[in-house]
Amino acid sequence: MLALTIPAIGRPVDDTLLPLPSPAEAMASCQRRLIEESLTARYTDWVAEALDDIQSCFLITDPGIAGHPIVFASRGFLAMSGYSMQEVLGRNGRIFQGPATNRQSVMEIREAIREERTLQVSLLNYRKDGTPHWILFHICPVFGADDGRVAHFVAVQVPIQRRSRCSRSSAEAMLGGTRGRLIGGCREEVRSDDLGCNPTVELFVDVDNRGLEAEESREASKQERELALDAANSILSTLTHYSKLTGRVVSGKRCIEAGFSAINSSLVMPLGRIKESFILTDPHLPNMPIVYASDEFLNLTGYSRHEILGQDCGFLNGPDTDVEVLDQVRQSIQAEHACTVRLLNYRKDRSSFWNLLHISPVRNASGKIAFYVSVQMEENAKNSSGLCLSAGMRQLGVVGAVKVAVRSLCISAGPSKPSS
């Protein structure tokens, strides 16, 4: 029997043990760079300072990077959560959820992200020290004006104050513990009114957690809702302002007349989780251009994303590539069949490698072929995952994951959405 020992991508690897950077390590540093540059590439280096001036708790996340990581956390947020900037950057927002977090609300957030729309929902989050606190979670997408894709999500968090009368609590809470919570609520309100120092920090010194987890949900007040919306708007206008300096303009509304849009960004998220080298090509466009390339593909071939998106796959071939094999691939695509071949391919630096290539059609919710997925495995490459799995098994795993992602995405983009 075989024990699986794989350092997951994005996790720290002890490099003293390895003479050469492993593929996993290279990926981790690639991921770190993506996270660091996520904001600066679009909004210049000065944006962080401007965002720090906004006195709210908020996070900015990048759905285009694998794992949908946090790329910015405001000072207010760090003060509220007890985390340091380094502890949250690169992590997914779900690290703040805990055992009593309402799963229904988590599902609503997941769907809002997938459907790329604004949502306000009450949520029980957890601080670093494990104490829970109720927040109003306000998430909204930031669209790139050039391609209509979601560049970032802004997630504003407004703590929901306890209210003596309007807090909806469960039956047991009514019988026990209510008194303590009433006092807690009053104390908080008094303190924030009297002390008048930085309220965003002071409000979170919430020492009384008794019965908090038993509370089914806590309704946000109208003021809290407006507070969240105002904060989101000012963050959005800051981002819009700085995006004009780089020319990669963003907006709170999706621009309909976007030009060449590769693929929907809500497809990018599930695809980004697939840690293998693969590309998607669109058979409905001339020359079947690449519309998606995984980080691992870029790593394998040495190209950067903008160099290959919109291109056909010809650049991978070179003088010693077998034309007959290419013909076999072409025929399979014509017949709408999957095929597996061994092909000599070339990297950007023109070094060659044997590519164990698997290509398969991918259908959308209507049952029509939407893309072809090509999965590349370098022959005899040191398996980055450390798993003794055949290339074939790994390739099929990628195909399966891509198929369900594409199929499901198109379903939700159906006529049920009021916007379309």
Partner 1 sequence: MLSIKRVPTVLSNYQEERAIELIGCGRNCLGKCCLPASELPLFAFKNDPRPKASSFGTDELPPDFFLNTLLLGQWEDRMNRGLFRYDVSACETKVIPGEHGFIAQLNEGRHLKKRPTEFRVDRVLQAFDPAKFNFTKVGQEEVLFRFEAAGGDKSLFDENAGVEAGNSPTVVAINVSPIEYGHVLLIPRVLDCLPQRIDNESFLLALRMAAEAGSPYFRLGYNSLGAFATINHLHFQAYYLAVPFPVEKAPTEKIPIAEGQSKGGVKVSRLMNYPVRGLVYEGGNNLKDLADVVANSCIWLQTNNVPFNVLISDSGRKVFLFPQCYAEKQALGEVSQELLETQVNPAVWEISGHIVLKRKKDYEEASEEYAWRLLAEVSLSEERFQEVKAHVLEAIGLVESKDEMIHRNEKTGTTLESAPTIPPTSFPEGCLILQ
Please report, as ranges, the residues that interact with partner 1 according to CB under 8 A.
1-8, 11-13, 94-95, 97-99, 103-104, 107, 110-111, 170-171, 174, 216, 270, 273-275, 338, 360, 363, 365-367, 385, 387-389, 392-401, 403-405, 407-409, 411-412, 414-416
Residue 142 contacts by C-beta under 8 Å, 6 or more apart in sequence? 150, 151, 152, 153, 154, 236, 239, 250, 251, 252
> Would you say 197 or 388 has its CB closer to partner 1?
388
Least separation in angstroms between CB 332 and partner 1: 12
Least separation in angstroms between CB 220 and partner 1: 18
> Would you say 308 or 409 has its CB closer to partner 1?
409
> Would you say 244 or 368 has its CB closer to partner 1?
368
Where would I find the H helices in 143-294?
Answer: 171-175, 178-195, 199-202, 222-246, 265-272
> Would you say 196 or 367 has its CB closer to partner 1?
367
On whether the CB atoms of residues 333 and 353 are closer than 8 A, the answer is no
Least separation in angstroms between CB 399 and partner 1: 5
> Would you say 344 or 401 has its CB closer to partner 1?
401
Least separation in angstroms between CB 97 and partner 1: 8
Least separation in angstroms between CB 414 and partner 1: 4
On whether the CB atoms of residues 260 and 146 are closer than 8 A, the answer is no
On whether the CB atoms of residues 380 and 352 are closer than 8 A, the answer is no
On whether the CB atoms of residues 60 and 243 are closer than 8 A, the answer is no
What's the CA gap between 128 and 132, in Å, rounded? 9
Mind giving me the DSSP string for 109-134?
A: HHHHHHHT--EEEEEEEE-TTS-EEE
| Kind plus residue range of the DSSP H or E element containing 359 | strand 352-363
One-letter amino acid identity for 2? Answer: L
> Would you say 200 or 281 has its CB closer to partner 1?
281
Least separation in angstroms between CB 313 and partner 1: 22
